[in-house]
Amino acid sequence: MKITLIVVGRTVEKHYITAINDYIERTKHFISFDMEVIPELKNTKSLTMDQQKEKEAELLLKAFQPGDVIVLLDEFGKEFRSVDFANWLEKKMHNVNKRLVFVIGGPYGFSQKIYDAAHEKISMSKMTFSHQMVRLIFVEQLYRAMTILNNGPYHHE
Ligand SMILES: C[S@@+](CC[C@H](N)C(=O)[O-])C[C@H]1O[C@@H](n2cnc3c(N)ncnc32)[C@H](O)[C@@H]1O
């Protein structure tokens, strides 16, 4: 199984880029993992929030591949403790043949089309994070999960 994180829009802050890339590289020691960026839309000032979400949805749907298991990151999704997330991930590793795809929405979240296309929703917290910051939170938790599954010293209960 391969894990892909799809995000909408480039990461703009340098300090996030450094930290995100660091966790991606660390995670790759354990599993095939990459981050795909859907380029941000141009001229968004002329679009309503719903129009922007619809246009982002078209691009996201093109990025999905047949057989993908699609998991949205969403504040209303299922919440886990880190160890439980690691166990959930381990089950996916046994059951998913191709790609396990995590998706982070744009600044206004997802259109209904993306909710309809998804298999599951998971939450990092009940609080709302920026679409930029949640990337870092997720890649750290993914790395943490991989260290838990491999009995590494990174995670302490
Ligand atoms: C600024 S948030 C969008 C908030 C928007 N009100 C909504 O309804 O989704 C941008 C993206 O960050 C991600 N996100 C933000 N907070 C999150 C959380 N607590 N758990 C999981 N994902 C989160 C989601 O993918 C969301 O689409």
Give the percent of the chain with pLDDT over 90: 91
Q: Is the pLDDT of residue 139 over 90?
A: yes
Annotated binding-site residue numbers: 73, 105, 124-129
Q: What is the CATH number of domain 2-40+49-149?
A: 3.40.1280.10
- pLDDT tens-digit series, residues 103-138: 999 999 999 999 999 999 999 999 999 999 999 999
Verdict on whether the full-model pTM lies above 0.90: yes
**Whether the CB of 74 sits within 6 Å of ligand 1:** yes
How large is the ipTM? 0.98
What pLDDT sits at residue 35?
A: 98
Give the mean pLDDT of 16-28: 97
**Whether the CB of 9 sits within 6 Å of ligand 1:** no
Domain-wise residue ranges, the chain:
2-40+49-149
Consecutive H or E run containing 126: none
